[in-house]
Amino acid sequence: MSGNAGMLQHQDLVQVLRQREAQLGAFQEERRDKDSAINFLKTKIVTLQNQNRALQNQTPGPRVEAVSVDSDRRIQELEQQLLGSV
């Protein structure tokens, strides 16, 4: 009977191991998704910063200043989202 008990215990351990492997796979996929989102936001921030610099180098006018303020605000929002995701 101890042979049967040992076999059941082995099967239980194998089942637990498979469950843990599935959980680990899910965590790894979630991490990849977060990393992708972070990389996207970083790229978007750099793009907005470059656009902002380009606009600041132009002759300032009311429209350029408004876009610059909007751009700065959007950069701050994206940075906050990025920091909240980490």
Domains of the chain: total: 1
Q: How far is CA 52 from CA 9, 32, 42, 77, 78, in A?
A: 64, 30, 15, 15, 14
Radius of gyration of the chain (CA): 26
Question: Could you tell me the pTM of the whole model?
Answer: 0.51
Q: Taking Cα atoms as reference points, which of 55, 35, 58, 36 lies closest to residue 47?
A: 55
Q: What is the mean pLDDT of the chain?
A: 83
Q: What is the pLDDT of residue 18?
A: 96
- For residue range 30-67, list pLDDT tens digits in order: 999 999 999 999 999 999 888 888 877 776 566 666 77
Range of the domain at 23: 2-85
Distance linking the first and last C-alpha atoms of the chain: 52
